[in-house]
């Protein structure tokens, strides 16, 4: 693992970079530098994360927009105690685009260390490693591996949407997966990528890569999700919905679970729905879905990241709703309006479990 990470860092720096002095492994090193990296060392590790409930964890800042690690720790432990399968660090909710490279790596390591120190070694840590260039995405993947993540979630670049053709999108994800020392997943969220919306045929084509092991579909398109699940094997390629308002529906279409922002507020509730579905108690699972759906929609109307933080602060008493500029502090009028009733219902259900 460490060898591969070091090689990726040097390879990403471009041709002519001095090779790392790794005694006894020079022949392997030379072979890797003579040709594109195609998982020659770590391909055996290319397994998807287990199905279940994951959270794209929000992070917290103080009044100076510095990382508030005390609140981040409190949040991580509340989520872990909710029975989650895994935590996504630096997804869209985790403000990856607002963090420096060092901060991104620091938060991933802090997450893994916090979970391990409190007996949650079984919880998977996935790191968001998308970037605006292929080169930088490769570096983020290497950083994530060093920091303790087991998988990467890779967002498609979106600075020049008209020029991100199907061919360029596929090439980007393949090249990042070739270089990554840990398995990658494809992230589709058009609202964040300036409208770039990967269709099912792109995701299915990428699923054949030996180091691309899954996708998070935050487009809410159940038809797309179903097309991908019937074209892939869950043992090799997992398909997660990124929206809690279609969590139950996605399970009927073969999804591996959810990685949704509302899980930040109600981890136990999502795990309960997951368990009910697995037990064949569909009617009871759908009753929980009736509570989750309206709340997830309300989050999308009230600042998303800042809205999640505001509800967490009000219901559980920690963290600020501050988001790094330019998003800043969101409007929180919804906290005192009738629209907040849907969050009260979720919070009450969460506390009852």
Residues designated catalytic: 216
DSSP codes, 34-67:
HS---STTTGGG--PPPSEEEEE----B-TTS-B
d(CA 4, CA 40): 10
Question: Which residue, 216, 211, 166, 218, is CA-closest to 186?
Answer: 216
**Cα 51 off chain centre by:** 14
Question: Which residue, 66, 148, 1, is CA-closest to 325?
Answer: 66
d(CA 262, CA 296): 6
**Cα 220 off chain centre by:** 15
Nearest-5° Cα angle at 101, 6 to 67: 130
Place of tokens 């055996």: 44
């Amino acid at each position: 693992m460490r060898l591969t990470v070091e090689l990726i860092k040097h390879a990403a720096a471009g041709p002519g970079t001095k090779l790392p002095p790794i005694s006894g492994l020079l022949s392997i090193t030379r072979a890797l530098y003579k040709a594109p990296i195609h998982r020659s060392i770590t391909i055996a590790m290319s397994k998807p994360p287990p199905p279940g409930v994951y959270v794209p964890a929000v992070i917290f800042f103080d009044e100076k927009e510095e990382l508030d690690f005390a609140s981040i720790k409190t949040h991580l432990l509340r989520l872990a105690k909710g029975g989650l399968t895994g935590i996504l660090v630096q997804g869209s909710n985790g403000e990856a685009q607002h963090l420096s490279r060092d901060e991104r790596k620091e938060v991933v390591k802090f997450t893994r260390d916090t979970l391990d120190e409190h007996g949650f070694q079984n919880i998977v840590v996935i790191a968001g490693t998308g970037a605006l260039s292929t080169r930088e995405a490769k570096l983020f993947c290497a950083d994530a591996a060093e920091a303790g993540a087991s998988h990467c979630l890779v967002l498609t670049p979106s600075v020049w949407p008209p020029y991100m053709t199907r061919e360029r999108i596929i090439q980007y994800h393949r090249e990042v997966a070739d270089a990554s020392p840990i398995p990658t997943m494809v992230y589709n969220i058009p609202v964040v990528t300036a409208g770039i919306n990967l269709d099912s045929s792109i995701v299915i084509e990428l699923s054949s890569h030996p180091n691309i092991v899954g996708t998070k579909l935050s487009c809410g398109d159940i038809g797309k999700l179903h097309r991908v699940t019937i074209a892939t094997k869950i043992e090799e390629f997992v398909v997660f919905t990124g929206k809690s308002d279609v969590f139950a529906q996605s399970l009927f279409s073969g999804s591996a679970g959810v990685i949704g922002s509302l899980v930040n507020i109600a981890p136990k509730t999502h795990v309960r729905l997951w368990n009910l579905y697995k037990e064949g108690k569909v009617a009871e699972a759908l009753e929980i879905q009736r509570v989750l759906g309206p709340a997830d929609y309300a989050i999308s109307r009230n600042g998303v990241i800042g809205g999640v933080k505001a509800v967490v602060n009000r219901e559980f008493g920690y963290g600020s709703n501050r988001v790094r500029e330019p998003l800043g502090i969101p409007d929180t009028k919804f906290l005192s309006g009738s629209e907040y009733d849907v969050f009260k219902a979720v919070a009450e259900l969460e506390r009852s479990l």
